[in-house]
């Protein structure tokens, strides 16, 4: 059975004067999913997050988070959603533990329960030893982990994280990503994270949405993204064979679905609309050539992103 939808955006738009910061955005995110919002500066990510939190009103369209309309019931949404901005503000003169207890009190959690929960969370985010240290003395990685504990104290159903891994060392990033992943898999928490750090997003997101100029250009897993963005050349197959002469290259180029064949150092790259690997190997064998290597190149998010933006600049003559 499919998990229920937790976040639903329907034709959502936000205009500032004549400027459309978010333009007819529709998106559904299911319970327990980790969804990555990607896009260049000014794409509309923060505006979208603010509309989900009820902190800014949509110009048109609708938002529903945990079945609640944040425009009408912003307080109810805040009870269910934890938001970790890119630089969490803690009280520097208070310890990590005191900061958590303060948040718990603001959320109406009784003191005994708050203490129990705070210690559990400090352990979860690996800050037990730093519980009595002033938050002002925490490193950025420690602050982000305390931030995660801080949003979790009210037991949210959804967490929204803005650039959670920015400025953290590789070990800290690994730990934070593992924590976020565990929250989704073991506690069914739905995670929305906005980030420019593509390789981090790729490690933990189930799906990614690529935002540009307020519009969602593509969404899905890596393979879906590549297919949506590079319709003609969704697949690139690397082939090494001998002899790979002009006549064999022409035969490969003639395979239905193949758009172009480009020479590389030790063979060719075949750009195609569908995965024609089997057809290519048959063509090589039937031509009495020896096939040494054939593999489909899978694009990482970094490559998808850069290939798209390079292509866009070329298309727009920038
Ligand atoms: N209050 C506002 N008034 C006018 N324009 C705004 C306002 N808030 C945002 N914008 C504009 O809306 C667009 C989208 O901004 P937004 O902050 O949502 O982008 P973003 O994708 O989060 O960018 P970044 O990665 O830089 O945080 C930008 O062009 C921004 O200048």
> In this structure, is residue 225 part of a structural domain?
no
Ligand 1 contact, 57 CB (< 6 A): no
The predicted pLDDT at position 284 comes to: 94
ipTM for the predicted complex: 0.94
Same-domain pairing of 214 and 238: no
Is ligand 1 within 6 A of the CB of residue 43?
A: yes
Structural domain of 285? 231-315
Task: Please choose, from the candidates 173, 218, 228, the residue with its C-alpha nearest in 3D space to the C-alpha of residue 38.
Answer: 218
Q: Per the structure, how many domains does the chain have?
A: 2
The CA 52 to ligand 1 mean position distance, Å, reads 15
pLDDT lower than 70: segments of the chain:
1, 226, 230-232, 299-300, 309-318
Q: Are residues 129 and 216 in the same domain?
A: yes
Q: Are residues 211 and 252 in the same domain?
A: no
Q: What CATH number has the domain bearing residue 154?
A: 3.40.50.300
- How far away, in angstroms, is 51 Cα from ligand 1 center? 12
Same domain, 125 and 45: yes
pTM of the model: 0.79
Tens-digit pLDDT profile for residues 27-82 = 999 999 999 998 888 889 999 999 999 999 999 999 999 999 999 999 999 989 99
Residues 70 and 174 in one domain: yes
Kindly report the protein residue whose alpha carbon is nearest to atom 16 of ligand 1: 44
Same domain (yes/no): 73, 195: yes
**47 in contact with ligand 1, CB cutoff 6 A:** yes
Please indicate whether residue 151, judged by its CB atom, sits closer than 6 Å to ligand 1.
no
Q: Is 292 in the pocket of ligand 1 (CB under 6 A)?
A: no
User: Does residue 257 belong to any structural domain of this protein?
Assistant: yes
CB-ligand 1 contact for 45 (6 Å cutoff) = yes
Give pLDDT tens digits for 6-23: 999 999 999 999 999 999
Tokens representing residue 242 in the block? 């001998």
User: For residue 299, how far is its CA from the centre of ligand 1 (angstroms)?
Assistant: 29
Q: Judge if 172 and 119 occupy the same domain.
A: yes
Same domain, 192 and 253: no
Question: Which CATH number is 276's domain given?
Answer: 3.30.70.100
Q: Is the CB of 216 under 6 A from ligand 1?
A: no
């Amino acid at each position: 059975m499919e998990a229920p939808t937790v976040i639903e955006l329907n034709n959502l738009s936000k205009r500032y004067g004549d400027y459309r910061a978010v333009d007819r955005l529709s998106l559904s995110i299911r319970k327990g999913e980790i969804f990555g919002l990607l896009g260049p500066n000014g794409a509309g990510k923060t505006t979208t997050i603010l509309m989900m939190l009820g902190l800014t009103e949509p110009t048109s369209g609708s938002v529903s988070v945990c079945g609640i309309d944040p425009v009408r019931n912003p307080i109810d949404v805040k009870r269910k959603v934890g938001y970790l901005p890119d630089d969490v503000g803690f009280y520097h003169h208070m310890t990590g533990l005191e900061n958590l207890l303060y948040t718990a009190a603001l959320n109406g959690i009784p003191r005994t329960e708050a203490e129990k929960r705070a210690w559990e969370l400090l352990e979860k985010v690996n800050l037990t030893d730093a519980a009595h240290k002033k938050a002002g003395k925490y490193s950025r990685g420690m602050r982000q982990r305390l931030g995660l504990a801080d949003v979790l104290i009210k037991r949210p159903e959804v967490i929204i994280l803005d650039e959670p891994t920015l400025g953290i060392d590789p070990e800290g990033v690994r730990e934070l990503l593992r924590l976020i992943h565990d929250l989704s898999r073991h506690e069914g928490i739905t995670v929305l994270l906005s980030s420019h750090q593509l390789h981090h997003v790729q490690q933990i997101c189930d799906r990614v949405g690529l935002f540009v100029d307020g519009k969602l250009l593509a969404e899905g897993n890596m393979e879906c993204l590549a297919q949506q963005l590079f319709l003609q050349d969704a697949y690139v197959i690397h082939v090494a064979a001998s002899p790979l002469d002009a006549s064999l290259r022409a035969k490969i180029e003639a395979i239905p679905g193949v758009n172009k064949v480009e020479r590389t150092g030790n063979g060719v790259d075949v750009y195609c609309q569908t995965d024609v690997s089997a057809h290519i190997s048959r063509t090589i064998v039937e031509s009495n050539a020896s096939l040494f290597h054939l593999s489909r190149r899978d694009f990482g998010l970094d490559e998808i992103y850069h290939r798209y933006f390079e292509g866009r600049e070329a298309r727009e003559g920038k």
